[in-house]
Amino acid sequence: MRTIFTRDWKRPDRLVVLASRSPRRSALLKQMGMSFETAHPAVESEEEYLDVKDVRRSVRELARAKARSVSATRPEALVLGADTVVVHAGAILGKPESKARALEMLEALSGKLHMVVSGVALVCEACGFALTAAEITAVRFRELTRQEIAEYLAGNDYADKAGAYGIQGSAMVFVRKIDGCYYNVVGLPVAKTISLFNAYVTRKDADNV
């Protein structure tokens, strides 16, 4: 009898498409051993999906919307969507729209605990499969000086990252403690992503019995 432990989740029977242009997510999928293509999701007004009162659900729904926007034009593919936000002091911090906003975010996170929440979704229109998951990681920054923040913002590493920082880059020196999945903070919760592919594989087996 086949189980999730006897199937190779890295090689599903369909083309895998990552509905994201994030180089970090692509790099993590490659490290996981996946073969895939990338596509840009067509989702407008992403902020409208996000609800600080139920962040886990809302990031899952946004990830699903991104996956479905690509799956609509590639119905035979297995499409992976993802979204990551930072939650602090009752507010959702997405990607900063300016350097000034990035400065505000980093000053707010300095010396404080915040949550990084990611939603992932795996969708296949042709086979009627759609499943989502969410991951939360707690991150605490040490106290940052204005000079440290200014030096970081002098580069462009903050521009496309939730909370205005990338833990895998030079902002690693900001982190005092992390509790949970490190890869979630990078942008793709690895274990939760594997669970979605395993669910697809086992569902397919069950349907073929």
Instruction: Say whether pLDDT at 5 is over 80.
Output: no
Give the model's confidence band at 12: pLDDT under 50 very low, under 70 low, under 90 confident, else very high: confident
Concerning whether 83 is annotated as a catalytic residue, the answer is yes
* DSSP β-ladder status, 37-38 and 16-18: parallel
Instruction: Say whether pLDDT at 206 is over 80.
Output: no
Domain coordinates in residue numbering, the chain: 16-208
* CATH fit for domain 16-208, picks 3.50.50.100, 1.10.3720.10, 3.90.950.10, 3.30.110.30: 3.90.950.10
Can you list the positions of beta strands (E) in 125-172? 129-141
Q: Could you tell me the pTM of the whole model?
A: 0.89
Distance CA 107, CA 111 (A): 9
Give pLDDT tens digits for 62-90.
999 999 999 999 999 999 999 999 999 99
Could you say which of 13, 51, 83, 205 is catalytic?
Answer: 83
Distances (CA, A) of 6 to 1, 2, 157, 204, 207: 9, 6, 41, 14, 17
